[in-house]
Amino acid sequence: MIAFIESLGVTGVRAAGTDSRIVLNGKVYYPNSYVNLDFLLKVHEIYQNEVVFIDRNGIKYRKGF
């Protein structure tokens, strides 16, 4: 899981509450969007310098940029 998250390239971010979005490896994601269906990993929160992911077990992973 950590290796997958580290492999994600962030090329854009808009931290605007419920209208937040992030561009990861060329694709746009919103809060609660699935990033990886194998891991059931989704974007949980988006901040100006960090994105928080959450998996099916409720474990949170942070990626700074």
DSSP state for residue 9 in the 8-state scheme: P
pLDDT in tens, 8-51: 999 999 999 889 999 999 999 999 999 999 999 999 999 999 99
Task: Return the pLDDT at 64.
Answer: 96
Which has the higher per-residue pLDDT, 21 or 65? 21
Tell me how far apart the terminal alpha carbons of the chain are, to the nearest angstrom.
18
Instruction: Please count the other Cβ atoms lying within 10 Å of the Cβ belonging to residue 46.
Output: 20
Task: Return the pLDDT at 18.
Answer: 83
Whole-angstrom CA distances from 26 to 32, 51, 64 are 18, 16, 17
